[in-house]
Amino acid sequence: MGVDGSGRVHLVESLPLLHPEQQTFEEMLSGWRNQQLSRNLQFGTIDQRIRFVQRFMEHVNEFPWRWSPTHVEEYFGDLRSIRKLAQSTLRGQQSALRQFNSYVANPDYGWDVVCERRFGTHPAQVFFDWNTATHAEEFEGRASKRPFTKDELQRLFDYADDQVELIQASGKKGWKAAYRDSVMLKIAYSYGLRFNELRHLQTVDFSINPHIRRFRKVGVCKVRFGKSRKGSPPKSRSVLTVFEWTPEILED
């Protein structure tokens, strides 16, 4: 049995499989990976989704062609009641599992024929609107979280600066790394950057803002590695400098 680049399975004459259940499951994951690669999804996204499927299979102790809605409800019931996962985390896992289930249950990919021949049954969709979480609100953060006040933010920055001086005064190595972390913390706050956006920044990504000359050469920050959407390349955007202390940090 083989899987092509689009995730379709091909039955070929071969010797009997030693572990047909496990080998069929691994071929399903391989085919689903190919399908996602052809959609131009990020490698990290694909690997994470595959891990979700493997965890679900290990928990219910059943292969995809024997999954049922009861397995879905028991698994996510345990995640909510025991592990206390956030609602957005649960919804993300359910979305990944639902997509995998749609892939193996789609007759176009041939897994129904393979499973019927080998196990006498076939995979079917078990993730529905009535047993999975819905995405009703754009913001899904916890209500208990809030932004730092100005005093709290100042204490955070002061603490990061103090760590640099303490390490340097002790004569130990590591003050440069602490200084780098302090700068990254302040720049991330200044421009509202995600970590991946922050770590890809280069000095050439800053330019003059002709409308506010007092910020000199760092009036605009060009973000080149913004969060991508639905298989698209990284999204770029420009962020204006607004804090008076930002240019001094960048120039230093």
Please report, for the domain that includes residue 29, its CATH number. Answer: 1.10.150
- Is the same domain home to 9 and 102? yes
Least confident of 5-14, 106-115, 199-208, 241-250: 5-14
Q: In this predicted model, which residue has the larger pLDDT, 11 or 92?
A: 92
For the segment 124-153, the average pLDDT, to the nearest whole number, is 82
SS3 226: strand
On whether residue 70 sits in a domain, the answer given is: yes
- Is the same domain home to 69 and 114? yes
- Is the same domain home to 115 and 7? yes
The answer to whether residue 173 scores a pLDDT higher than 90 is: no
Query: CA-to-CA distance for 168 and 186, rounded, in angstroms?
Result: 20
Beta carbons of 234 and 225 less than 8 angstroms apart? yes
For the segment 1-12, the average pLDDT, to the nearest whole number, is 58
Q: Which structural domain range is residue 11 located in?
A: 2-119
SS3 246: helix
- pTM greater than 0.85: no
In which band, very low, low, confident or very high, does the pLDDT at 125 lie, cut at 50, 70 and 90?
very high
- Is the same domain home to 237 and 159? yes
Res 83: pLDDT: 87
- Is the same domain home to 195 and 111? no
On whether residue 162 sits in a domain, the answer given is: yes
Closest CA to 49 of 102, 109, 100, 105: 100
Half-sphere exposure of 57 (CA within 13 A, CB side): 19
Give the whole-number percent of the chain exceeding pLDDT 70. 90
Q: Write out pLDDT tens, residues 48-88.
A: 999 999 999 999 999 999 999 999 999 999 998 888 888 88
- The mean predicted confidence, pLDDT, of the chain is 88
On whether residue 132 sits in a domain, the answer given is: no
